[in-house]
Amino acid sequence: MPGLLEALARNSSRPRYAFMVLNLIAEAAGPDGRLGPFVRREGEPIMVRDWLCDAMAPMADRDPRRLALFARVREEMAENGVLDPDPVAAERAVEAEVRARVRSSGKTNISRAVTELVKAGMIKRHYQGYCVDHENRGAMRQVVYTLTPAARRVLQPARPPIHTNARPRQASLPF
């Protein structure tokens, strides 16, 4: 772990944020260390960057800038005449718009953090999708993150073996 943290401190402008992203990827990754292109949330597939962004969003809920964003969105919607007169419906609409804006800017932050994790040698990134997998995005490809073996050793503890209902086999003595 100390080596991992040192590499993050050397390669990241925001090492704590990058570590949180890395930890989320490690927690959700499969036994092979891969995560993506989709993650299941409440039974529905969601793109991995959207999922990471949504998972990181609560970190800034009390931030004054987030509170100011709520006020600004409410004001913009009222000026444009799209704010519902029902206060409950209006609040839901404001929350939905704020969530969309936060996700949009959050995906940029996630991408920047992952780029730093790739540079630090903790993650490999490729794009999976239409026709062939590729290192570069485009052509309707979606991102897949894979933990490097060193990061997996630190962040993914050995998983217990899967138990079956089979009885343990013991050696037999010939008669």
Question: Percent of the chain having pLDDT more than 90?
Answer: 31
For residue 73, give its domain range: 9-155
Q: What is the pTM of this model?
A: 0.74
Q: For 63-76, what is the mean pLDDT?
A: 84
Distance CA 72, CA 75 (A): 5
Does residue 139 sit within a domain? yes
Does residue 47 sit within a domain? yes
Does residue 24 sit within a domain? yes
Q: How many domains does the chain have?
A: 1
Q: For 57-83, what is the mean pLDDT?
A: 83
| pLDDT tens-digit series, residues 113-141 | 999 999 999 999 988 865 555 555 555 67
Does residue 39 sit within a domain? yes
Omega prior to 161 cis, within 30 of 0: no
Phi–psi pair at 35, nearest 5 degrees: -140, 125
pLDDT of residue 2: 86
Does residue 163 sit within a domain? no
Tokens matching residue 8: 């993050």
Does residue 61 sit within a domain? yes
Q: Residue 26's Cα: distance from chain center in Å?
A: 10
Tokens matching residue 70: 């709520």
Does residue 174 sit within a domain? no
Does residue 162 sit within a domain? no
